[in-house]
Chain A
Amino acid sequence: MSTGVVDHSALKVNQTGIVLTVLVAFVGSAFWRPALFLVPLLAIVLLLGTFAPQLALFKQLYFKVLKPRGIVKPQPVQDRPEPHNFAQGLGGVFLAVSALFIYAPLLTGDFRPGPALVIGLALALIVAVLAFVNLAFGYCLGCQIYFQLGKRGLIRAS
C-alpha cells in the first residue's frame, strides 16, 4: 500500500465549490426555475474530474488561480488520492440521479413541480450536506464507503 501527498486545500476548494453550486441552484430555483441547470452541470464537472483530474473544475481553479496568487495556502498531507476521487465520483453519480429526477418530468412535457422535483432537489441537498460535513469536520462518507468496500474485497483498496 503506497501513500502520496494530497493537497487538502484543493479538496476543500472542491467541497466549497460543490456546496456553493448546490446552494445557488437550490435557492435560485425558488425564483428562477432554470437555475436548476447547475445540478447536471455540477454532476458532469464532478464525474469528469473523477476520471480526468485535469478537467476537475474546482481543483483547477485552486491550482491555476487561488494557489499561485496566494489566496488559498497549500496544505499537503501524506494521503492517497483514490478515496477522495471515489467520494467525488459518488457525489457526481448522486447529482446525476438528482438531475434525472429534476428533468425527467420536463421531458414528458410536465412542467408542474411534482414529487420527482422534490426528490431531485433533496438528493442534491444531501450531496451538499455531505460535502459541507467533509469541509467542516473532516468526515468523508465517500472515503468510509471506499474503505468498507476495500475491506470486503469489492474494490482494490491497496
Chain B
Amino acid sequence: MSPQLWALAVAGTVVLAAACLEMFRSWRARRRAVGVTASPSSQPYILYFTGDGCTVCRTHQEPALARLNGVRIDKVDAIAERTLADRFHVYTLPTTVVMSPDGSALHVNYGYAPAPRLERQLAEARGSALRSAATA
C-alpha cells in the first residue's frame, strides 16, 4: 500500500476518533448539566453562552436566536461568568440552555443550535410547564 493510502487511513482514523470523543463529551456534559439559575421567569427562556472569540455565535447562533420572537434570552459571557458556565459544563461556544419557568435546565445544546430546534425545545418546555401547573 502506498504511503498516501496509509496516511489517508491514519488521518481518517484520527478524525473519526476525534468525532466520537466529541460526541461522548457532549453526551456526558449534557447529563451533568442539571443546574438551576436564580432568575426564574413566567415563560421558558434561553441562557445563551457566548464569548468575544466565538465566530459561530455571531454568524449563526445570534441570527437563529433573533428568529425566536418574544423569547427571553439571557446572554452570558462564558469567560467572565465562569461559575455559571461551569455549572452547565460549557465546554464549547455557543452553548444554549433552554430553561423552564422555574429556572431548571431542560435542554442543553453544545455548539450551534438552529432556530427550529430551539423552537421545538421551547414548545416542550411550555408543555411541561403547563402540565406542572395543572398538577399543582
Chain A interface (Cβ within 8 Å of chain B)?
1-3, 6, 8, 26-27, 29-30, 77-80, 82-84, 113-114, 117-123, 125-126, 129, 138-140, 143-144, 146-148, 150-151, 157-158
Contact = CB atoms under 8 A, between A and B. Distances in A.
Contacts of A1: 52, 77, 79-80
A68 to B, nearest CB: 24
B115 to A, nearest CB: 16
B55 A143 contact: yes
Given A78-B58, A122-B14, A157 B52 contact: yes
Given A78-B58, A147-B53, A118 B3 contact: yes
A83 to B, nearest CB: 4
B27 interface: no
B8 interface: yes
Interface string B1-45: 011101110110011000000000000000000000000000000
Contacts of B7: 26, 117-122, 125
Contacts, number: 95
Interface of B: 2-4, 6-8, 10-11, 14-15, 51-56, 58-60, 77-80, 82, 85, 91-93, 111-112
A113 B3 contact: yes
A3 B134 CA distance: 47
A119 B3 CA distance: 9
B50 to A, nearest CB: 10
Contact of A139 (B8, B79, B85, B111): B111
9 contacts: A29-B4, A30-B2, A77-B59, A79-B55, A80-B53, A117-B7, A118-B6, A123-B11, A147-B92
Contacts of A139: 56, 111
B54 A147 contact: yes
Nearest to B2: A30
Contacts of B79: 1, 147, 150-151, 157-158
A86 B136 CA distance: 53
Contacts of A144: 92-93
A157 B112 CA distance: 21
Given A126-B11, A139-B111, A84 B52 contact: no
A79 B58 contact: yes
B11 A129 contact: yes
Given A144-B93, A157-B52, 19 more contacts: A8-B55, A30-B2, A78-B58, A82-B53, A113-B2, A113-B3, A118-B7, A118-B10, A121-B6, A121-B7, A122-B6, A129-B15, A138-B60, A140-B56, A143-B55, A144-B92, A146-B53, A157-B53, A157-B79
